[in-house]
Amino acid sequence: MRRIVGVFGTAGFAREVIPLVRRQLAESHPDDDLIFVSPTAEAPVNGIPVVAEKEFLASRKERAFTVAIADGKIRRKLFARAVESGAQPLEVRAASAEVLDAVTLGAGAILCGHSSVTSNTRVGIGFHLNISSYLAHDCVIGDFVTFGPNVVCAGNVIVEDGAYIGGGAMIRQGRPGQPVVIGAGAVVGMGAIVTKNVSPGATVIGNPARAIVKG
């Protein structure tokens, strides 16, 4: 059956995700209609129609979706609205992305080019693994977590719901029973080197990563 496949967002990351979805659909659902979904209808972007969110959510046609918006809180809200409307989450996986043994991926993951999830790792809903990022063995990743480009997350790490890991950041390896934990809603700045646990909601930067003290 012909579906409408919506990519929420029209900004930079969404424009990177659309070609991945298009190539993926060409192999499995070539007749599907691919669109961007935005708060309001707009002119086409890169030749792809832009449909208002209300129109997409109200459609009675079969629909699939992905949310290509980095902010985890916004992503969570849009994901919930789409699911409540009857749309099905779409996993987006670049041809060069790899997923190894005993990996559980939650619904709606986006795995960009040259990214890697190695063995025995569990990932929650709505995960973003950006270009050339690496998620190692025995990790547990919560819902609506974002990894920017070129992130290295070593083994035995827990990243809780809604955390944002900036581009080029590195998280050192934990130990079985003693994982490194990135708390819910935490932000790890670009290029930060995380050597110890990060508290929920904290923002850390630098090498070694230290929390920003709000004045």
Nearest to 163 by CA among 66, 46, 75, 57: 75
Buried b vs exposed e over 11-31: b needs ≥16 C-beta within 10 Å? eebbbbbbebbeebbeeebee
- Which residues does the annotation mark as catalytic? 137
* H/E segment holding residue 67: strand 63-67
* Phi, then psi, of 147 in degrees rounded to 5: -110, 120
Nearest to 117 by CA among 69, 143, 151: 151
